[in-house]
A = this chain, B = another copy of it.
Amino acid sequence: MLDTLDLERSLDKSTYKSQMETLMRSLRSLQKSCWEKKLPMIVVLEGWAAAGKGSLVKKMVNYMDPRGFTVHPIWPPNEQEQQYPFLWRFWQKLPSKGSIGIFYHSWYTRVLEDRLFERVSSGEIPTVISQINAFERQLVDDGSAIAKFWIHLGRKELKHRLKKYAADPLEAWRVRPEDWQQEKRYDQYINYAEEMLVQTSTGPAPWTLVEGNCQRFSRVKVLTQMAATLTEALDRLHIQAPVIPALPPQEHLNPAEPNLLARVDLNLCLSKDEYKQQLRHEQVEMRKLQMKIHEAQVPVLVLFEGWDAAGKGGAIKRLTDALDPRSYIVHPFAAPTDEEKAHHYLWRFWRWLPTAGTIGIFDRSWYGRVLVERVEGFATEREWHRAYQEINEFEAQLTSAGYVLVKFWLHLSPEEQLKRFCDRQNDSFKQYKLTDEDWRNREKWSLYEVAVNQAIQRTSTPNAPWTIIAANDKYYARVKVIQSVAEAIHSQLKRR
């Protein structure tokens, strides 16, 4: 692919000057529209060392309003970042709606430099590639514009420039030993690059290959493409989505669909004595396991979904009672903050992922997208349909990074729920737990039943299965929850 580029292409000074002038003016006004239309833009700059990425970024931003963009130079991950899936640190840096994020190097270092220096094995590359493609597709689906540039140099030119920079006192400090390796192992590096370009040039986020020998030419090409991408993304905002008559909310499962909740035996229960004795036993187990996951540095994420008053709080409490407070964190997820609203809906969950050796307990989770947001109409049909895949991809990234992922749906009968609502109403200490919203949700029971069944069916995967807990009896539910967490951790530890 890269050998098809005519690296000799160039641009004379005067043409360059005039073209740049126009480009810059249009880029600046495009940036303004970005801001007004709340469009997030991601620019990825990859390519050989000394290909002029730095001076290019300079040109790029010099004409922009410095308040509308951020430049992210990507160095090797620090201690903290290494504890997470490799995309974690990039999620943290994503531009909020309306601003532009310019990545000087990016998630692609994972399949280039990391590969060249064997910080990642060739066997892992396919997974990394698919994760990157999913990542970019999710962002584009969410309305981001992405422009990716590979700035190419011939081996001779590369060597020439490295020497030149190394000799310039103002530039020398930027030339890293790794850069010389690119020249020494040019053929190997170019093969990795070709593989990357082929496999990550996707419809939503294509690569632009840039002939880099002539800086004037490459700058104009990059900025022209950037303007084009922005314009297209802005136009897309105006295109009326085809008006599909919204289907009426699905009140009942089709006979063909399995009713997973109906299968749950809600009569399962424990006597007080059985409860006491089993709870104690399970908690001792958890205590031991907690030490083991610390030693093995396994991250554990336990998420709780369920009907209102199904006993999430109580179950979380019994689970944490067993744990050392230094090794777990409980995150309740209510309405997103405005910072969170300015990002992809998964962003706020990436923010709170537990680190290696600790347990993160999520009270509600990303499943809100296909449950409450679907039922209440906060997410469009297209959005929550898409979400099943997005969620499976997200969870696959966690489990492939070694996370133990446990997903609970606490199930009870409408009758039992009503009983608990009334109890809460009459208990001054629990009243605050019962809101009008709980009553409203209750009226939508059948809508939720459909959503829950479909969500569980479409997101139960071998590595991230759902556990439906029969919660009519709190004793049974609490013990079962701890048991399930323990089992999940056990089997993960065995796998190591």
Contact = CB atoms under 8 A, between A and B. Distances in A.
A288 interface: yes
Contacts of A326: 54, 57, 71, 73, 104
B332 A67 contact: yes
Contacts of A117: none
A337 interface: yes
B324 A67 contact: no
A320 B65 CA distance: 11
A295 B111 CA distance: 30
Given A78-B78, A321-B62, A67 B170 contact: no
A193 B324 CA distance: 26
A70 interface: yes
B291 A173 contact: yes
Contact of A57 (B66, B316, B325, B329): B325
A316 B170 contact: no
Nearest to A334: B67
Copies held by the complex: 2
A317 interface: yes
B104 A66 contact: no
A80 interface: yes
A61 B317 CA distance: 10
A330 interface: yes
A363 B295 CA distance: 46
B58 A325 contact: yes
A361 interface: yes
A79 interface: yes
A387 to B, nearest CB: 24
A313 interface: yes
A29 B173 CA distance: 59
Contact of A78 (B58, B79, B173): B79
A12 interface: no
Contacts of A32: 432
A330 B69 CA distance: 8
A170 B57 contact: no
Interface in A301-326: 313, 316-317, 320-321, 324-326
A338 to B, nearest CB: 5
A294 B78 contact: no
A57 B332 CA distance: 20
A451 interface: no
Contacts of A71: 325-326, 329
Contacts of A363: 67
Interface in A61-87: 61-62, 65-67, 70-71, 73, 78-80
A339 interface: yes
Q: Which of A67, A295, A338 has the most CB of B within 10 A?
A: A67
A380 to B, nearest CB: 25
A477 interface: no
A139 interface: no
A159 interface: no
A73 B291 CA distance: 16
A38 B469 CA distance: 34
A420 interface: no
B324 A170 contact: no
A330 B361 CA distance: 36
A287 interface: yes
B67 A330 contact: yes
10 contacts: A54-B324, A57-B325, A60-B325, A71-B325, A78-B78, A102-B325, A173-B295, A337-B337, A338-B339, A339-B339
Given A32-B432, A54-B326, A78-B80, 14 more contacts: A29-B429, A54-B324, A58-B325, A62-B317, A62-B320, A66-B320, A66-B361, A67-B313, A71-B329, A104-B325, A170-B287, A173-B295, A337-B337, A338-B339
